Amino acid sequence: MSIDPDFITNDSELAVQQAMNLLRMGQIQLARKQAEAVLQETPEEIDCQLIIAAANRAQGDCVQAIQGLKDLLFKAPNFSLAQQELGFAYADAGQVIAGIKALQRAVKINPKLATSWQKMGELFFVDGDEVSAAEAFKRHLLLSSHDPELIHAVSLFSAGKIAHAEQACRLFLKKNPSDITAIRLLAEIGLKVGALNDALHLLERCLILAPEFDLARLTYAHVLNKSDKLEQALVQVNQLLDAKPNEYPLLVLQASILVKFGDCQPALACYEKLLSNYTPQPKIALSYAHALKTSGKAAEAIAAYRLAISLQASFGEAYWSLANLKTFKFEDDDIVAMRDQIESQNCTEVDYFHLCFALGKALEERKQYRESFLYYQRGNRIKEKLEVYDPENTENIVKRQKMTCSAELLSAAAELGCQSPTPIFIVGLPRSGSTLLEQILATHSQVDGTKELGHIIGLARRLGGKKKHKDVSRYPEILAELSAEQLSELGEEYIKQTAIQRGAAPFFIDKMPNNFLHIGLIKLILPNAKIIDARRHPMASGFSGYKQLFAKGQAFTYSQANIGRYYGSYVDVMDHWDRVLPGKVLRVQYEEVVADIEQQVRRILDFCGLPFEAGCLEFYNNQRPVRTASSEQVRQPIYSAGLEHWRHYEPYLDELKQNLGSVLSRYPLS
């Protein structure tokens, strides 16, 4: 539709409406011209001031748009559409937190602003707050629904009545099988209960019916990313970016997917674009620093972490990330700054525990062990409360694994499953030398290093068949019911899904430590896979875990009692695998690797059926991406100084000793 540029009415009320219509139609210059004409006669006309600001944003001038909207809101603070437009302008400028706050003000004034809820959900995703994102999307879903039955289903979902919401949604879809809003709701329900595959299928159906349904495509991309289907996720994001090439949340999602590919260079370029073309944001600087660290660019990573702190003085995660480099040393000013932030009233709970762990590490480096421990303890107390770990659950899982995965079951399936010999699994507890073993093996010409892959755990969850949190998982008992065909399919699925994480080498490493619980599953579906158990003295491993703040998982590490019991469960199930799979798991003691690396490297390579390569002894020269907390340590020659480091903290570790119990008898303290 074309508009006559000379058609500018002098009727004030009609002129405002016409300017609004022109803006909606994308006729930005005409909308501006009409609004400016009105403002010449009526300078205080707020709708036209809003139109001018929106036009500035549409033409890429977010700075001018934001200033104009601030001026407008100073005069009309309850103008909800202006607050919404301010949120959009902040979002386009890359100012995520400011955008969220403006949109929150908008929906507080007018809770029925559906697009505010949608954009808020997108920004919460960028900020890493999936819970708030889901809540915002639920509110958008409720406002974008029109049928009373569907509104009822959305209301049930919003109220947390998941089973009733699913039932109501399915009943609605029987009568309206092509309703994309209902299909998206059912996908959101699937995500809520962890049924990722169901959600993916539903979102695919949505996009077949409505290819222009961008919100469904965005959710689809997020779920693909979460499911490690990275190539497909990137295709979806790129399709969205084709239409909106400068959409900030899409660029952030694109960068996060590129990081997961393993080749960090494209991700680094993406983060550099985000930091240079938009107002620098602390979390983007942090993600950029993480990618630099993974790439082995330590000096550049430190500079990027410091940039994040300069953008947000209380940014505890940036301080902890510096501490987590292991080879980094804090300066006096850093310690003063961390103390000030910890004691300030403006420090959030998340920043607080990050700062406590970081300050604990800084004081440890200065040999101030008592005060260092007190800060580790303060951080752990908060994390223990937030993680809510139940040691009895782990002990029950071990008991069920031992009852199900008998020698008879495993020997009967020895010739079944996928026969590929390519995977090498490294299992054990965190902070027990698994990254060192991975780096040694990944230096071999026939082995690709990857990362801590979640595919085996994902298969275990899927086999469990849980639809709701309170449901009892069918795993591991279901392993005894799987047919030869199913075992083969699961093994082949694992090999296929992990292909994107590796190169062309004949072997690759899966270093997910928690896979020690799933060795039965691994051997049933991949009988020729090699499994290495990275073991370390329980006091050294336990304390190293206690002072480590993990990005996710490892909830047991935030309490000495839980660490002791978890180590006991680990030893219990590993003893079982030794009995039912004799000779199939190679135990590598960290202390023995440190004492005689060549002997242990030869032993490991022999177990894996690999010829000895002297380069494996110089693993620290391997510049491949490393994502774990030990990334800087494994880029240095091996050293023995850390073996007994836990003894500096021994006076404070009685609870750990008590809960380790008989396990300690295998490792005399001497």
Q: Which among 497, 520, 514, 509 is positioned nearest to 414, based on CA atoms?
A: 520
Q: Is the pLDDT of residue 630 over 60?
A: no
Q: Are 124 and 91 in contact (CB under 8 A)?
A: no
C-alpha to C-alpha distance for 589 and 536, rounded to whole angstroms: 6
Q: Is the pLDDT of residue 103 over 50?
A: yes
- Sheet with 530-535, side-by-side order of all strands: 447-448, 507-510, 423-428, 530-535, 585-589
Confidence of residue 347 (pLDDT cuts 50, 70, 90): confident
Q: Please name the residues in contact with 618: beta carbons below 8 A apart, sequence gap of 6 or more.
A: 443
- pLDDT per position as a tens digit, 220-262: 998 998 888 888 999 999 999 999 888 888 999 999 999 887 6
Q: Is the pLDDT of residue 416 over 70?
A: yes
What is the per-residue pLDDT for 634? 47
Kindly tell me the burial class for residue 417, based on how many C-beta atoms sit within 10 Å of its own C-beta (0-12, 13-18, 19 or more). Answer: buried
DSSP 498: G
Long-range contacts of 259-266 (CB under 8 A, 24+ apart): 259/287, 259/290, 259/291, 259/294, 260/225, 260/228, 260/230, 261/230, 261/500, 262/450, 262/451, 262/501, 262/625, 263/625, 264/291, 264/292, 264/294, 264/295, 264/625, 265/295
Q: Locate 113 and state its tokens.
A: 């602003």
C-alpha to C-alpha distance for 286 and 321, rounded to whole angstroms: 8
Please count the other Cβ atoms lying within 10 Å of the Cβ belonging to residue 657.
16
- Exposure string of 360-370, with b = 16+ CB inside 10 Å and e = fewer, is bbbbbeeeebe
Q: Which among 664, 632, 634 is positioned nearest to 650, based on CA atoms?
A: 664
- Domain spans in the chain, listed from the N-terminal domain onward: 409-465+474-666
Confidence of residue 196 (pLDDT cuts 50, 70, 90): confident
Kindly tell me the burial class for residue 243, based on how many C-beta atoms sit within 10 Å of its own C-beta (0-12, 13-18, 19 or more). Answer: exposed
Long-range contacts of 127-135 (CB under 8 A, 24+ apart): 127/96, 127/97, 127/100, 127/283, 128/283, 134/188, 134/191, 134/192
What is the per-residue pLDDT for 597? 92
Radius of gyration of the chain (CA): 28
**Is 527 or 465 the better-scoring residue by pLDDT?**
527
DSSP string, 119-174: HHHHHHHHTT-HHHHHHHHHHHHHHH--SHHHHHHHHHHHTT-HHHHHHHHHHHHH
Please count the other Cβ atoms lying within 10 Å of the Cβ belonging to residue 170.
13
**Mean pLDDT rounded to a whole number for the chain:** 90
- How many Cα atoms are found within 13 Å in the side-chain-facing hemisphere of 233? 23
- As beta bridge partners, residue 589 has 535
Average pLDDT over residues 335-354: 93
Q: Which among 218, 226, 224, 205 is positioned nearest to 251, based on CA atoms?
A: 218
C-alpha to C-alpha distance for 37 and 302, rounded to whole angstroms: 52
Domain 409-465+474-666 is of which CATH architecture? 3-Layer(aba) Sandwich (3.40)
- As beta bridge partners, residue 423 has 508
Least confident interval from 112-121, 370-379, 451-460, 640-649: 640-649
What is the per-residue pLDDT for 261? 79
Q: Is the pLDDT of residue 272 over 90?
A: yes
Q: Could you tell me if residue 416 is left (phi over 0), alpha (psi between -120 and 50 degrees) or otherwise beta?
A: beta
Q: Are 319 and 329 in contact (CB under 8 A)?
A: no
Q: Which secondary-structure segment (H or E) carries 339?
A: helix 332-343
Specify which of 9-23, 553-567, 656-670 reaches the highest per-range mean pLDDT. Answer: 553-567
Cis peptide preceding 421, ω within 30 of 0: no
Confidence of residue 3 (pLDDT cuts 50, 70, 90): very low
C-alpha to C-alpha distance for 369 and 645, rounded to whole angstroms: 11
- pLDDT per position as a tens digit, 490-521: 999 999 988 888 888 999 999 999 999 999 99
Q: Are 650 and 543 in contact (CB under 8 A)?
A: no
C-alpha to C-alpha distance for 201 and 204, rounded to whole angstroms: 5
C-alpha to C-alpha distance for 650 and 632, rounded to whole angstroms: 26
C-alpha to C-alpha distance for 155 and 113, rounded to whole angstroms: 17
What is the per-residue pLDDT for 327? 79
DSSP 27: -
Maximum Cα–Cα distance for the chain, whole Å? 94
C-alpha to C-alpha distance for 654 and 442, rounded to whole angstroms: 38
Q: Locate 431 and state its tokens.
A: 């902070």
- pLDDT per position as a tens digit, 130-155: 889 888 988 888 888 888 999 999 88
- How many Cα atoms are found within 13 Å in the side-chain-facing hemisphere of 87? 25
Average pLDDT over residues 614-633: 64
Q: Are 301 and 292 in contact (CB under 8 A)?
A: yes
Q: Is the pLDDT of residue 409 over 70?
A: yes
What is the per-residue pLDDT for 129? 85
Confidence of residue 631 (pLDDT cuts 50, 70, 90): very low
Q: Is the pLDDT of residue 9 over 90?
A: no
C-alpha to C-alpha distance for 622 and 610, rounded to whole angstroms: 18
* Helix boundaries (H) for 538-589: 538-546, 560-580
C-alpha to C-alpha distance for 443 and 58, rounded to whole angstroms: 51
What is the per-residue pLDDT for 220? 93
C-alpha to C-alpha distance for 531 and 311, rounded to whole angstroms: 44
What is the per-residue pLDDT for 342? 95
C-alpha to C-alpha distance for 536 and 558, rounded to whole angstroms: 19
Q: Are 304 and 275 in contact (CB under 8 A)?
A: no
- pLDDT per position as a tens digit, 280-312: 999 999 999 999 998 888 899 999 999 999 999
**Is 2 or 573 the better-scoring residue by pLDDT?**
573
Phi–psi pair at 317, nearest 5 degrees? -65, -35
Q: Are 225 and 199 in contact (CB under 8 A)?
A: no
C-alpha to C-alpha distance for 103 and 114, rounded to whole angstroms: 11
What is the per-residue pLDDT for 8? 46
Q: Are 53 and 59 in contact (CB under 8 A)?
A: no
Task: Write out 268-288 in H/E/C secondary structure.
Answer: HHHHHHHHHHCCCCHHHHHHH
* Helix boundaries (H) for 433-535: 434-442, 455-464, 484-497, 519-525
